[in-house]
């Protein structure tokens, strides 16, 4: 009987141990996660469950740090530190700043620039005008006074002309080169018209074409005066034209200077002011003197209309067409 009780006790103890092992294998991970960490050796299945739980907790914490929690303000920014080190002011009165920056940041935009020789030509024209004023101050004063004083204009066609030959030639050259420079800046700088030649060569070509055209006009007028025996009338008219052109040259000279320095957005305003000054000079000096000359010589007005179309209006229209200037 004693042996039977001992055998029954052993069987019951073995069944209990087997049930406990089966229960441990079927335990959920949540119960393992909440179980306090044991000291000493851990069974194999329990260690796998703990490793899985730790990995999930690590991933959860990493996502929380990346998407939820703000970055630390004390963390250094290497990119900003490199920019400050390369470009920041060091506090030594700008002595460390180089005239040519070695850092090329961004793309920027191209800044349009005009030809540098234009400034040189303008300086030469201004010096030429100053030298002419010093050497022929009386003649230059008469040219300026002709715009206000009508007596100076009426004396221009007589033998005692207030302008001598050399001053006339110098002022005529000044008008040709100034007008040529103005046309060059107007066509290439504002209207963006391109020709087979360009730069300084185009400026010289325009200037000589203008000088040749107006010289031809004066020669044709002289020829008409000789043919129709009206030399005195033609001389007075040529003097009036020359004084008008010379006054316009003194308008084109500062306009060309402003044209080469100001921004493109101010050029339409500059052209409007220039056109206003030219119209005022023509109305005040040219038309006033021309009417006075024509009133002293009676001829049919149809001839005057033909002359104005042939030698005054038509050459200007041909020049505009040849330069391909489109008014907008």
Average pLDDT of the chain, as a whole number: 75
pLDDT of residue 311: 72
Has residue 128 been placed in a domain? yes
Q: Are residue 56 and residue 202 in the same domain, yes or no?
A: no
User: How confident is the model over 274-292, as a mean pLDDT?
Assistant: 77
Has residue 63 been placed in a domain? yes
Q: What is the DSSP-derived secondary structure letter of residue 110?
A: P
Domains in the chain: how many in total? 2
Q: Which has more confidence, 271 or 29?
A: 271
Q: Which domain holds residue 143?
A: 117-323
Residue of 149, 207, 156 whose CA lies nearest to 178: 207
- Helix residue ranges per DSSP H, the chain: 2-25, 29-34, 44-67, 78-87, 117-135, 137-145, 150-154, 165-184, 200-227, 231-259, 267-281, 288-295, 301-307, 314-323
Has residue 134 been placed in a domain? yes
Helix orientation angle between 137-145 and 231-259, rounded to the nearest 10 degrees: 90
pLDDT of residue 207: 94
pLDDT of residue 101: 57
Q: Which has more confidence, 122 or 287?
A: 122
Q: Are residue 163 and residue 50 in the same domain, yes or no?
A: no
User: How confident is the model over 131-146, as a mean pLDDT?
Assistant: 86
* Contact assessment for residue 163 and residue 156, using Cβ atoms and an 8 Å cutoff: yes
Angstrom distances, CA of residue 244 to CA of 18, 46, 105, 176, 240 = 127, 111, 55, 13, 6
Whole-angstrom Cα distance, residue 281 to residue 285? 6
Has residue 94 been placed in a domain? no
Residue of 132, 217, 206 whose CA lies nearest to 168: 132
Has residue 271 been placed in a domain? yes
Q: How confident is the model at residue 163 (pLDDT cuts 50, 70, 90)?
A: confident
Residue with tokens 């939820």: 68
The proportion of the chain whose per-residue pLDDT surpasses 70, expressed as a percent, equals 62
Has residue 193 been placed in a domain? yes
Kindly report which listed range (40-44, 118-122, 249-253, 278-282) carries the lowest average pLDDT score: 40-44
Whole-angstrom Cα distance, residue 282 to residue 279? 5
The proportion of the chain whose per-residue pLDDT surpasses 90, expressed as a percent, equals 20
């Amino acid at each position: 009987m004693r042996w039977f009780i001992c055998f029954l006790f052993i069987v019951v103890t073995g069944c209990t141990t087997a049930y406990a092992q089966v229960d441990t294998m079927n335990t959920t991970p949540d119960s393992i996660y909440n179980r306090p960490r044991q000291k000493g050796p851990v069974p194999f299945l329990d260690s796998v469950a703990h490793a899985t739980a730790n990995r999930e907790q690590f991933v959860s914490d990493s996502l929380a740090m990346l998407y939820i929690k703000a970055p630390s303000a004390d963390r250094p920014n290497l990119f900003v530190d490199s920019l400050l080190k390369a470009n920041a002011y060091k506090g030594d009165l700008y002595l460390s700043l180089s005239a040519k920056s070695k850092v090329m940041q961004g793309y920027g935009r191209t800044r349009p620039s005009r030809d540098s020789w234009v400034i040189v030509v303008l300086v030469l024209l201004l010096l030429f005008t100053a030298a002419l004023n010093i050497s022929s101050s009386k003649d230059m004063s008469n040219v300026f006074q002709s715009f206000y004083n009508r007596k100076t204009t009426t004396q221009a066609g007589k033998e005692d002309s207030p302008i001598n030959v050399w001053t006339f030639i110098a002022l005529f050259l000044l008008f040709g080169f100034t007008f040529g420079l103005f046309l060059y800046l107007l066509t290439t700088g504002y209207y963006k018209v391109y020709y087979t030649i360009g730069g300084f060569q185009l400026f010289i070509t325009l200037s000589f074409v203008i000088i040749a055209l107006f010289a031809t006009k004066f020669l044709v007028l002289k020829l008409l005066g000789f043919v129709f025996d009206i030399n005195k009338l033609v001389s007075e008219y040529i003097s009036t034209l020359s004084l008008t052109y010379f006054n316009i040259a003194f308008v084109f000279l500062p306009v060309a200077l402003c044209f080469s320095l100001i921004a493109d957005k101010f050029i339409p305003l500059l052209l409007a002011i220039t056109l206003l000054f030219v119209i005022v000079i023509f109305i005040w000096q040219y038309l006033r003197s021309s009417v006075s000359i024509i009133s002293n010589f009676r001829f049919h007005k149809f001839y005057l209309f033909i002359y104005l179309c042939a030698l005054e209006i038509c050459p200007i229209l041909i020049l505009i067409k040849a330069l391909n200037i489109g008014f907008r």
